[in-house]
């Protein structure tokens, strides 16, 4: 992709690796500890993605440091349906 875009909601590690360019892209992880939404099998892919990013960072292969936002509160989020 040549334009500046934001891609969200990728939980499939294969899709992430195909879309993510460690030389110029940034990754942001947003999580919330307590939620009423039940996780599915697809959320397990996020663990794989985080480990991939960690591996890139540890081997100095990631140009931009990843960003982790933990335990965000619903009042800080805007929901669009």
pTM: 0.71
Other beta carbons less than 10 A from residue 15's beta carbon: 13
Contact 18, 52 (CB under 8 A): no
- The answer to whether residue 7 is domain-embedded is no
User: What pLDDT does 79 receive?
Assistant: 44
**43 lies in a domain?**
yes
For 35-60, the DSSP string reads -SSPP-GGGHHHHHHHHHHHHHHHTT
Q: What is the pLDDT of residue 15?
A: 93
Cβ proximity of 2 and 42 under 8 Å: no
**Is residue 4 a part of any domain in this protein?**
no
Binned average pLDDT, 10 residues per bin, the chain of 81 residues: 72 92 83 73 86 88 71 50 34
Tell me how far apart the alpha carbons of residues 1 and 38 are, in angstroms, rounded to a whole number: 33
What pLDDT does residue 1 have?
53
Enclosing domain of residue 44 = 13-76
52 within some domain: yes
Residue 25 located in a structural domain = yes
pLDDT at residue number 80: 39
Query: What is the number of structural domains in the chain?
Result: 1
In a domain, 5, yes or no: no
Residue 1 domain flag? no
């Amino acid at each position: 992709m040549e334009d500046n875009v934001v891609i969200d909601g990728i939980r499939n590690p294969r899709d992430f690796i195909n879309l993510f360019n460690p030389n110029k892209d940034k990754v942001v992880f947003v999580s919330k500890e307590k939620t009423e939404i039940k996780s599915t099998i697809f959320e397990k892919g996020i663990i794989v993605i985080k480990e991939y990013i960690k591996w890139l960072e540890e081997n100095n292969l990631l140009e931009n440091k990843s960003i982790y936002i933990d335990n965000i509160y619903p009042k800080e989020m805007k929901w669009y349906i």
